[in-house]
Amino acid sequence: MSKRWTQMLIGLTILGLFFGWIRHVDAQAEQDAQLLLSVAKPYMQSNERITFKYTGYFGTCDGADAKVMDAGERLSNQLGFKSYTNGSLSLESGIYMMKSEVAGNALATLTVASPVGQSACYAVLRLDAPENADQAQLLKWQEHMTTQLNKQGIQGMWNVMIQANAVGVSQNPKEFLAELVRAYKGKVVERYEDDTTFSTSLASSEFEASIRSGNQKVNVQIALHLDTTSGLWRLTIGTPIITMEY
């Protein structure tokens, strides 16, 4: 993970937490994730890639590497990560990163950083699950992490995404997206399309977490991208939005 990417992610979190961009509802996070994954399943091949990501405020570090290191170690211990002597640890340019296997063979990454010129610390907890991962285990892990993060007083939000080759797109990607919109019981608030990509953002009363995009509430994003080499459509769905390449 590059320092620039991490700083951009932290910047988005700051905007969300302090200017009301993000609606913070940890209590419903697991229900949102379960709904996202269960509705997506019939529209995807079995090679799905699932990502859980929590981003939140974690006290003050004053931009000092030593304090970032201390905050990262404290949080990794509280979340049950392995000791850094056994796990994968790095501290570079004021960014602490720890990796550990969880929920079977999924990879969890904890990043703690303090943006330049700020005293605040921010934590990013990410889980990348392999193909055919046990979704029940992933949801159980998310629930446990939510409890632990709340105990630490970390204010933030979950972002959950699933990606795989689509099933049944045929030659009509717009109709395929429209069917998914109906499946998620959403109202389209934004669209984007070009020759190989179609993206739709929804407001759905079925989901609790949301962000603001202009004057609109968004809590589900669906994207289709045509791989021109294989001829297959890649489907990515996220709540409240997609923050991975699609």
Structural domains of the chain in order of their starting residue, each with its CATH number: 3-24+53-159 (3.30.2030)
For residue 5, give both structure tokens.
């990417």
Measured CA to CA, the distance from residue 233 to residue 246 in angstroms comes to 10
Measured CA to CA, the distance from residue 73 to residue 91 in angstroms comes to 11
pLDDT digits (tens, 9 = 90+) for 196-210: 999 999 999 999 989
Residues 104-119 as b/e (b if ≥16 CB within 10 A, e otherwise) read: eebebbbbbbbbeeee
> Which of the four pLDDT bands, split at 50, 70 and 90, describes residue 91?
low
Pairing of strands 197-204, 233-239: unpaired
Burial of 121 per CB tally in 10 Å (0-12, 13-18, 19+): buried
pTM confidence score: 0.85
Mean residue pLDDT across the chain: 84
Say how many residues make up the chain.
246
pLDDT digits (tens, 9 = 90+) for 46-62: 878 999 999 998 888 88
Q: What confidence score (pLDDT) does residue 49 get? A: 92
> In this structure, are residues 124 and 54 in contact, taking their beta carbons and an 8 Å threshold?
yes
| Lowest-pLDDT choice from 2-16, 71-85, 120-134, 231-245 | 2-16
Helix (H, G, I), strand (E, B) or coil at 197: strand
> Which of the four pLDDT bands, split at 50, 70 and 90, describes residue 29?
confident
For residue 136, what are the CA distances in angstroms to 75, 141, 142? 25, 9, 10
